[in-house]
Amino acid sequence: NAGVMQNPRHLVRRRGQEARLRCSPMKGHSHVYWYRQLPEEGLKFMVYLQKENIIDESGMPKERFSAEFPKEGPSILRIQQVVRGDSAAYFCASSPGNRQETQYFGPGTRLLVL
Amino acid sequence: AQSVTQLDSQVPVFEEAPVELRCNYSSSVSVYLFWYVQYPNQGLQLLLKYLSGSTLVKGINGFEAEFNKSQTSFHLRKPSVHISDTAEYFCAVSDYGSGNTGKLIFGQGTTLQVKP
């Protein structure tokens, strides 16, 4: 059973460009969480999605950031008009859905904004 | 609001010595508690979790943690560390009140440095 997959693993963008980060959850998992890890900091929750629904986006910046989890395909975290402060590691985690279930983390996408 | 405090940013220890990584949390509701480990340039791997029942929880790689409700702590321990335990360790909480979405609140992390 393949684990959570994220791509790309590394992404370099110039200020003002768009970044698209993809997350494929583990087989059988329909719940996806996105977290951001800024340098020298812990992980911060961004958004929680189920298939075709955003359940909790309380951690998402109000502007430039969006997320989706379509019926088919991976979950996408999209950052428009990136700024240097967006440079971070972005982790996706998936779970089967029960709130007690473990969240399984992907390897992360490391975004560098020049 | 929930919060997690990991009291030590770095813990240096010699190989085969015991170690304790401290974690305190604050929450107005009952919580689930987790410890994750992160090796360089990798994602997080679950070490152990407390949901209910026995307050002493055993995890992978010889780690264990004890939930202390009165002190709101969930310290991680290992009786004898190995060089391969060198990594970043994160404590996290998730509340299970109604409306909870299962999101994890993480501490700042503790870097465990095992020296030969």
Tokens of B108: 């700042």
| A39–chain B Cβ distance below 8 A for any pair | no
User: How many C-beta atoms lie closer than 10 Å to residue B45's C-beta?
Assistant: 14
Band of residue A32 on the pLDDT scale cut at 50, 70, 90? very high
Q: How far apart, in whole angstroms, are the C-alpha atoms of residue B6 and residue B46?
A: 17
Test the B interface: residue of A100, A101, A102 with most B CBs within 10 Å: A100
pLDDT digits (tens, 9 = 90+) for A38-84: 887 789 999 999 988 999 999 999 999 999 999 989 999 999 999 99
Alpha carbon separation from A40 to A49, B108, B109 (Å, rounded): 27, 8, 9
Q: Domains of chain B: which residue ranges?
A: 3-115
Task: Report, in this order, helix, strand and coil percent for chain A, each rounded to 5.
Answer: 5, 50, 50
Check pLDDT > 80 for residue B100. no
DSSP state of B109: -
Identify all chain A residues contacting B96, using CB atoms and an 8 Å cutoff. 99-100
Q: How far apart, in whole angstroms, are the C-alpha atoms of residue A59 and residue B16?
A: 40
- Fold type of domain B3-115: Immunoglobulin-like (2.60.40)
pLDDT digits (tens, 9 = 90+) for B13-64: 999 999 999 999 988 777 889 999 999 878 899 999 998 888 899 999 999 9
* Residue B104, burial from CB neighbour count under 10 angstroms (0-12, 13-18, 19+): buried
Shortest distance between the Cα of B15 and any Cα of chain A, in A, equals 25
| A56–chain B Cβ distance below 8 A for any pair | yes
Q: How far apart, in whole angstroms, are the C-alpha atoms of residue B82 and residue B116?
A: 9
Find the mean pLDDT for residues A93-105: 82
